[in-house]
Amino acid sequence: MLSQKQAEEAIVASFNETEQDGNGKEEEEERAEEPQPMFSMKSLLWHGGSVWDAWFSCASNQVAQVLLTLPYSFSQLGMLSGVLLQLFYGFMGSWTAYLISVLYVEYRTRKEKENVSFKNHVIQWFEVLDGLLGPYWKAIGLAFNCTFLLFGSVIQLIACASNIYYINDRLDKRTWTYIFGACCATTVFIPSFHNYRIWSFLGLGMTTYTAWYLTVAALVNGQVEGVAHSAPAKLVLYFTGATNILYTFGGHAVTVEIMHAMWKPQKFKYIYLVATLYVFTLTLPSAAAMYWAFGDQLLTHSNAFSLLPKSRFRDAAVILMLIHQFITFGFACTPLYFVWEKVIGMHDTKSIFLRALARLPVVIPIWFLAIIFPFFGPINSTVGALLVSFTVYIIPSLAHMLTYRKASARQNAAEKPPFFMPSWTAMYVLNAFVVVWVLVVGFGLGGWASMVNFVRQVDTFGLFAKCYQCPKPPVAAPPPQQH
């Protein structure tokens, strides 16, 4: 006769076998969708779910147009603060991306135990918050994430117009915004992050070229005559620059969607950290070299291209950044497309054309906002302070603390503390530090400084500015007076 303990063990073993069978079927279904080992152009360019795909997506999405505004931030912060804050926020961003990945795995593990299938459904961050913490957290996550991604897309459009102007200034920046808004609207045809394989790879190559072009061009050009490095000079400028760097390493608002596109999401853990280490090799040399060469001139030139002499290398960098900004627009917009599809009941539709048609209303407000607020550098800092601070730093840290606040939750956690954390207590301390620091320095001081700077731009250039920070045309000399 079996003892009670042996009976319980038998029940548990039976449940585990059933669960493994269920998960095995789902994994087989997923593998059936994976690219086959034989060579196929479609699988090579279109279907991506490997660790490498996720790394390219993270690295490519993390630094795009912000690469061109970091020298501007250095002119506000000074060289030492610029370097230190990049390192500080880079590692802080990697930590909160890790927290998001842990919460995703926890949510998916719990749901799969309830036999929930995600075969035709893309999990998003607000759904993770809903499943782990309830509807109020879902509403908060949805509001911050969607607003951040909306303005992130706006920034890409502004950046496109700002960049192309340095190749062709026959059209003003506002007209270029109309043109690129139409071009970026074509991203409605890209179904999900599975289909960004070739785009992520190309995007990172383009960013790498641009970063090293900025570095080499600044060093070759040398220091301009009378160069001055007066930063940090004003608190408003200092915290505006700091918040732009907070924004730079807060590009993981699409982490959940990138993870969900992976064949094995559990492998995501440290991908964002490795991507950040690579991004350091792009952002630190380019920003430092540009600030060394041009100094305080960058305070009135938020786009680094504007100070470099026209050449075929600069034109190549501009064109590559334009293509990459199109890709990054798609990265930022795709989660918004998913949310909109779920709202109108089109998320399960298999027709690419029907989904594309349904997604078009998402692009229109983005297009309109880019025309209203064409302020390239200041809008980065404002979005960083008011939206990124909560979306990718404060909310993930608080969510992790609340999800594992009970001993039973910690004991049954799908992911235990990482090897470099001695205990759950240490994780709580680190999470609490992130919350307090970003709330006070990022949202508080950064929000104040960014809004002051943003309002100054509106007062100076006005809304719907036709050509923000464009060089003024030379004033014609008056005709000589005839006596």
More confident residue, 155 or 74: 74
- The owner of tokens 């998960």 is 23
Does 221 fall in a domain? Answer: yes
Average pLDDT over the chain, rounded to whole? 81
- The confidence score (pLDDT) of residue 376 equals 57
- The confidence score (pLDDT) of residue 332 equals 81
Question: Which residue segment(s) compose the domain that 84 sits in?
Answer: 49-461
Does 23 fall in a domain? Answer: no
Residue 187 sits in a domain whose CATH number is: 1.20.1740.10
Please give the biggest Cα pair distance in the chain. Answer: 126
pLDDT at 192 over 80: no
User: What is the CB neighbour count within 10 angstroms for residue 422?
Assistant: 9
Are the CB atoms for 382 and 448 separated by under 8 Å? no
- The confidence score (pLDDT) of residue 432 equals 97
**Calpha distance 66→156 (Å, rounded):** 9
pLDDT at 254 over 90: no
Does 17 fall in a domain? Answer: no
Instruction: Give the model confidence (pLDDT) of 7-60 as tens digits.
Output: 444 433 443 433 344 443 344 344 444 444 444 555 555 556 788 888 888 888
- The runs of H, that is alpha helices, within 295-423 are 312-344, 352-372, 376-383, 395-403, 407-411
Angstrom distances, CA of residue 274 to CA of 58, 260, 268, 317, 440: 9, 19, 11, 25, 28
Q: Name the pLDDT band for 77 (thresholds 50, 70, 90).
A: very high
Does 373 fall in a domain? Answer: yes
Does 475 fall in a domain? Answer: no
- The confidence score (pLDDT) of residue 279 equals 93
Does 437 fall in a domain? Answer: yes
Supply the pTM of this predicted model: 0.80
Instruction: Give the model confidence (pLDDT) of 130-185 as tens digits.
Output: 999 999 999 999 999 888 888 888 888 887 877 787 777 777 777 888 888 888 88
- The confidence score (pLDDT) of residue 481 equals 57
**Arithmetic mean of pLDDT, 237-244:** 88
DSSP-assigned letter for residue 34:
S
Q: Which tokens in the block code for residue 119?
A: 């075969």
**Arithmetic mean of pLDDT, 74-90:** 94
Structural domain count, the chain: 1
More confident residue, 438 or 11: 438
Does 22 fall in a domain? Answer: no
pLDDT at 401 over 90: yes
Does 33 fall in a domain? Answer: no
Are the CB atoms for 126 and 308 separated by under 8 Å? no
